[in-house]
Chain A
């Protein structure tokens, strides 16, 4: 069965009606602007308010059962998107529709009660397992807390069963031997597994993994990625996977969206995006991914300069000051995402041109 066919079936069974609920998350024209504090005098003299355009008009869908990767350099807005989905910051504009059990909730405008109800369904896997675990909590405490806070534990036996299942699902086997261990008694890889287990104990349907392996040693990374793929394959949750590393998106992602300066510049299936990138930024980024093979030779497109200041974003295409094929039109007219081939979108006027 093709991946797409399986997804649709999963979606149908969830919907239970003729409406095909293929998407778990639909983000539309999301904008997150942060006001810049200026001095009293400046604010008197200059009427104009300044904003950091962290996320500036982003739309995408996460299909049920997929790993959707947001890839970009630091400051491109990928973490800000994650935080607005979790409602840790308020969106300036746009909607974030989360679809669950036949209903739809706009996470950007839902009230406190609604958010509290929905939050167990959306969980976060933290980046740094050395910071995310409380050093004074043992594993049992760590996994009990989310259940207690959300009154989702049930009876003592049920709660213990949930905790033990979550631990064995992340490969901490036998789970009983880990219950009374403290973070300092665990390796980096084990800590990250505990982190994932405590996100999974509430049985969420959507997980946000923000650089989940960047602090884990290389020899143990694959295990963490395997856990994520296992959760996906068992149909337990869909993922928003945030990373700067294309080689991770290559092995875990179904879809990749590349961000630059608060915008999505390209979106396609992982295979298509990495093997056949269209936007000049993506083409350059893919070309500089280090390859673990000293005999492999290929042309690297090294961009000069740096990501633009999010307060004063360039007019026209935001990438034009660094783009090797930029022309007059790029300085004037901002490109929108257009379908350049089937299910492959790029925001560039000249995506068909070769790079020098």
Chain B
């Protein structure tokens, strides 16, 4: 398979008090055509900053200081604004966290879905509306409700509308940033199933950003784990869950209760993530790591085995 998205050595820092918060520090991964990648980590690990970097939608105090983001071989980092506008939504789109609350309350949903189509394509309004209606059906909303307003929909339905919007310009990659966080269990499952079905139907590539490894286990093929701005491990889902290499990954996997497993309490990882303004020298996980030794004071080497990657001295 060919890589649709190739990220090499991405560095995105935030400026704070004349210093840099190293939110994303030398992160590389790729997504193949039709593949689903889960990007996991705890809050503050940089996963959302990766997503914003991919779209170049960073806040003003953040900047990409290094690396490349190759989409179909073209570097998003170096793109002119004009080119960028033609790439966003046409090629890569994003569903934000809690986005269902970002719908315009005074516009009918079909109009809101048609809006990006009209902005990106030279197309008649009627045609755009027709396409928007088809999208409404694709995400499992009855066509008769296409002309309703956002307040007439529940949270789950609004999230479906956001997904329809992300698909409006037929992108090949959709980034989903915690798309189901604020939703109930049953609604969550409905949305996850929907994304899976659409992905198959449209041969779409997706990046799912979440803190919930169980969701990744159920919906993704590949998984990348971030810790304190670094990519610590990358592998296919089955391999990673069966045989995690990085001590952080094993710790995180042990932290999830499983209703089909024992009733023993899961195990926490001692300590808390470092301050990214002054991260520890060497391995950033070392202060919490059960395996840490003297060599961990130096940056861990990234090692590649077959198609998996791990950044740890001990592996």
Contact = CB atoms under 8 A, between A and B. Distances in A.
B251 A219 contact: yes
Given A223-B268, A302-B193, A292 B258 contact: yes
B259 A222 contact: no
Contacts of B61: none
B272 A285 contact: no
A299 interface: no
Interface stretch (A5-13, A60-68, A247-255): A247-255
B211 A292 contact: no
Contacts of A252: 265
Taking residues whose C-beta sits less than 8 angstroms from the other chain, chain B's interface range is 35 or more
Interface in A240-278: 244-248, 250-252, 270-271, 274
Contact of B215 (A226, A285, A290, A303): A290
A271 B260 CA distance: 11
Interface in B212-226: 212-215, 217-218
Nearest to B264: A251
Interface in A294-323: 294-296, 300, 302-304, 306-307
Contacts of B268: 189, 219-223, 226
A250 B185 contact: no
A292 B187 CA distance: 19
A92 to B, nearest CB: 25
Nearest to A298: B260
Contacts of A223: 268
Contacts of A306: 154, 156, 187
Given A218-B42, A218-B211, A285-B186, A293 B258 contact: yes
A290 B154 contact: no
Contacts of B188: 288
B238 A294 contact: yes
Given A288-B189, A292-B217, A219 B238 contact: no
B263 interface: yes
Contact of A74 (B184, B215, B218, B252): B184
Nearest to B214: A290
A244 B269 contact: no
Contact of B258 (A229, A244, A247, A271): A247
Interface in A125-180: none
B123 to A, nearest CB: 33
A23 B266 CA distance: 29
A105 interface: no
Contacts of A225: 265-266
B255 A302 contact: no
Contact of B218 (A245, A248, A291): A291
A284 B188 CA distance: 13
B89 to A, nearest CB: 29
B301 interface: no
Contact of A250 (B187, B189, B259): B259
Interface string B118-145: 0000000000000000000000000000
Contact of B186 (A189, A220, A284): A284
Contacts of A190: 272
B190 interface: yes
Contacts of A339: none
Contacts of A289: 185, 259
B137 to A, nearest CB: 15
A247 B259 contact: yes
B34 to A, nearest CB: 18
A211 interface: no
B186 A219 contact: no
Interface string A193-223: 0000000000000000000000001111111
A129 to B, nearest CB: 13
B269 A291 contact: no
A128 to B, nearest CB: 13
Interface string B264-296: 111111001100000000000000000000000
Contacts of A187: 272-273
A81 interface: no
B272 A295 contact: no
A244 B184 contact: yes
Nearest to A220: B268
B269 A220 contact: yes
B257 A293 contact: no
B257 A247 contact: yes
A289 B256 CA distance: 12
B43 interface: yes
Nearest to A253: B263
A294 B237 contact: yes
Given A219-B255, A220-B272, A225-B265, 4 more contacts: A217-B43, A221-B268, A290-B214, A302-B189
Ordered nearest first, which 8 A-B pairs have the shortest CB separation? Answer: A290-B214, A187-B272, A219-B269, A222-B268, A73-B184, A288-B189, A247-B257, A292-B214
